[in-house]
Amino acid sequence: TNISLNIIAYLLFIIKNLKSLRVLNLENNNLQDVHLKMISKELKDNKSIVALLLTKNNFESSGGMYLADLLSKNQVIDKLFLGYNNITSSGLSALLEVISTGHEISILDLSNNKLVNEDFIEIAQFMTKNPKMVSMNLSGNKMELADAVELGVVLPNVKSIRTLNLSNMNIISDTSPVLFKALDVEEIIVDDNPLEEIGMIMFSKALSASQRVKKISLKNTNLSTIGLTHLFNSLKNNKGISEIH
């Protein structure tokens, strides 16, 4: 569906009078930067919406900057879903800076954008500054060794995050040893990564040492017999696992 500016304007006019509206879902509407500019302007004074869903649209870094401006003035929104867009470094930086310096977010979905190496460094630093963050989705953004090192350093120290989605991020035998130093989350999702034997061994070691992990998802990760053996052995030490996918 493609929504025109006139329809967006009318929708936002109606929303002004919906004082009980908590979730605004504008997913899959081909929204572009110009739409985000209008949305951000009209929601600055909104006091009811706590979750803004903008997944599968078509905005870029300027859209991210407009959202940053929105969050700098609206302290109510604390769940932001931005997956499957075209956000790059400049838009991401503006957004993370606002969230880090005055607007707490509990759920942030950045899946399947156009994040590159330096973005992961910024994300790693951002994760340590947001004690309210409970869920982070980075899936679909390809990660290299340097990125895994940065995330691997901070993950053991980020105590607030319960759910971490690292699916389809090209986690391989080179990146898994530094990324999986420790698992201090309740749910870890690493689907669609070619972990193979070494990756699974490192994941299992971290799982064995963790008493916090309750749910793991390892779909389509090229598991070998040896990798599965290490996984099952790790479960002997981790008695809290309730779900395995």
- Name the packing angle between helices 61-73 and 89-101 (round to 10°): 10
Helix (H, G, I), strand (E, B) or coil at 34: helix
164 pLDDT tier (thresholds 50, 70, 90): very high
pLDDT of residue 223: 86
Give the chain's count of helices (H) and strands (E): 9, 9
pLDDT digits (tens, 9 = 90+) for 26-60: 999 999 999 999 999 999 999 999 999 999 999 99
pLDDT digits (tens, 9 = 90+) for 189-237: 999 999 988 899 999 998 888 888 999 999 999 888 998 999 999 988 8
Helix intervals (H) in the chain: 5-15, 33-43, 61-73, 89-101, 117-127, 145-154, 176-179, 196-209, 225-234
pLDDT of residue 1: 59
Q: What is the mean pLDDT of residues 114-123?
A: 86
Q: What is the mean pLDDT of residues 119-145?
A: 89
The least confident of 61-75, 85-99, 171-185, 186-200 is: 171-185
80 pLDDT tier (thresholds 50, 70, 90): very high
Is residue 100 within 8 A of residue 74, CB to CB? The reply is: no
d(CA 129, CA 96) in angstroms, rounded, equals 10
Residue 102 pLDDT exceeds 80: no
- Please give the DSSP secondary-structure letter assigned to residue 108: E
Is residue 28 within 8 A of residue 56, CB to CB? The reply is: yes
Residue 11 pLDDT exceeds 80: yes
174-201: burial string, b at 16+ Cβ within 10 Å, e else: ebbbbbbbbbbbbbbbbbbbebbbbbbb
Residue 173 pLDDT exceeds 70: yes
Is residue 73 within 8 A of residue 44, CB to CB? The reply is: yes
